[in-house]
Amino acid sequence: MINVLFVCLGNICRSPMAEAVLRDKIKINELEGQITVDSAGTGDWHLGHPPHEGTRKLLDERSISYEGMIARQVLSEDFTNFDYIICMDQSNLSNLRKIKGGEDAQIISYMDLLPNETLREVPDPYFTGNFEEVYGLMDAGCSVLLDKIKKEKL
């Protein structure tokens, strides 16, 4: 089983959107028994909350399920339980390295999946309100990630 963890700040906007989008792509590709996806935040402000209403609205419009998702914080055991840990921005990357301690090759910056994009961090729609922009990045990046997983692990 291949395990993927998306990480953002509060685990209510970007990382649950990525989780839902990748789960949807896994289902479409009939890989449900081979890849699991989760998300977490580096902060604790929203623990136990569902995804942000902007994320839920956007996913509902596209018939992408977010059922059962609630915000949680990154745990030290996540570094051994997940094959891919993908963070949304440099602050998340820095926080993950502090939790883990030092460099870790399994931590990937999300925008590294999309090298042709001018953005180098996924904007936080909690602050920008631009959930559509983030969805476009999630849709494109999750397709690249799924191809990467298929080539490297399946």
Q: What is the pLDDT of residue 103?
A: 56
Q: Determine whether 14 is an active site residue.
A: yes
CB-CB neighbours of 136 under 10 Å:
13
Q: Looking at residue 127, what DSSP letter applies? A: H
Q: What is the pLDDT of residue 111?
A: 98
Outline where the chain has alpha helix (H).
14-28, 53-61, 78-81, 90-100, 125-128, 131-153
Q: Determine whether 8 is an active site residue.
A: yes
Q: What is the pLDDT of residue 98?
A: 83
Separation of alpha carbons 87 and 141, rounded Å: 12
User: For the whole model, what pTM was predicted?
Assistant: 0.96
Q: Determine whether 142 is an active site residue.
A: no
Separation of alpha carbons 103 and 61, rounded Å: 39
pLDDT tens for the chain, residues 1 to 154: 999 999 999 999 999 999 999 999 999 999 999 999 999 999 999 999 999 999 999 999 999 999 999 999 999 889 989 999 999 999 999 989 888 765 555 799 999 999 999 999 999 999 999 999 999 999 999 999 999 999 999 8
Q: What is the pLDDT of residue 97?
A: 84
Q: Which domains does the chain have, with CATH numbers?
A: 2-153 (3.40.50.2300)
Q: What is the pLDDT of residue 26?
A: 98
Q: What is the pLDDT of residue 78?
A: 92
Q: Which two tokens stand for residue 60?
A: 């509902």
Candidates 13, 14, 56, 142; catalytic one: 14
Candidates 38, 78, 89, 124; catalytic one: 124
Q: What is the pLDDT of residue 104?
A: 56
